[in-house]
Amino acid sequence: MQQAPEAMTLKVIAHIHTAFPTKFGIPRQSGLVEELRGEIIFTPEYRNPDALRGLEDFSHIWLVWQFSGAVRESWSPTVRPPRLGGNTRVGVFATRSPFRPNPLGLSSVKLEAIEQRPDVGPVLIVRGADLMDGTPIYDIKPYIPYADCHPDAAEGFTGQTRTHHLEVSCPEALWQTVPEADRAALQGVLASDPRPSYQHDPQRVYGMEFAGLEVHFTVDGAQLTVRDITLL
């Protein structure tokens, strides 16, 4: 049997455009904030509509992508998951940390529509993505419920953290500065607690860029209060 090469070259087939110009605030997993809208635009070599034939029959898809904001020359066998307070070390292959031998991410997103645009060809409109704006995508596969869904799967340490949510308070005058199409998504992002998990100072004002806005907020216990929203 011919031995497979130890290294291979991956081609970027597309980039995704989202509301997050930086890593801060991005949901920790895909699907946590389904209101988040993203557009997947293919690179010129892969804009052939035939490559997407039949994809419209699936409601969800898998994205294989690069942690483009966390590429490093080296890796560590253990990492400290933020949701465990940043102090407990876990094997990197027991996490979804970006600091891995191959900086690849895997996300399941809802496929809302496939649009044909004269300037860029087919565009996938997705919901629930946990990716930074401009993230390179290496592959797209259909989500197959009977094979991909395992309701009885053990969830490891993530069972301690998956129900973490905040109550969001925002003055109506500030809320009106947010475009109506972005309000539900921003509400979901803030409720999911975008802070680093190891920071708990109720006096600290955090700043998050979202969809052309700068959102400043504080968190006291389970209450997040929006302090200011400005246009970038």
Task: Summarize pLDDT for 18-42 with one digit per residue, the tens.
Answer: 999 999 999 989 999 999 999 999 9
Residues of the chain with CATH 2.40.30.70: 14-68+103-153
Mean of pLDDT values over 215-219? 97
What distance in Å separates the CA atoms of residue 63 and residue 9, rounded to the nearest whole number? 18
Strands 104-117 and 167-169: unpaired
What is the CATH code for 163-231? 3.30.2310.20
14-68+103-153 has which CATH code? 2.40.30.70
State the amino acid at position 65 in one-letter form.
Answer: W
Extract the tokens encoding 66: 């690069």
Task: State the pLDDT at residue 76.
Answer: 87
Per-residue pLDDT tens digits for 77-125: 999 887 777 788 999 999 988 888 999 999 999 999 999 999 999 999 9
pLDDT for 68: 82
pLDDT tens digits for 148-201?
A: 999 999 999 887 766 678 999 999 999 999 999 999 999 999 999 999 877 889
Confidence of residue 7 (pLDDT cuts 50, 70, 90): confident
**Residue 5 — pLDDT band, cuts 50, 70, 90?**
confident
Kindly list the distances between the CA atom of residue 186 and the CA atoms of 25, 179, 181, in Å, as whole numbers in the listed order. 10, 10, 10
**In which residue ranges of the chain is CATH 3.30.2310.20 found?**
163-231
* CA-to-CA separations, 86 to 20, 65, 79, 175, in angstroms, rounded: 23, 25, 9, 33
The SS3 call for residue 50 is helix
- Position 159 scores a pLDDT of 78
Q: pLDDT per residue over 52-88, tens digit each?
A: 999 999 999 999 999 987 777 788 899 988 777 778 8
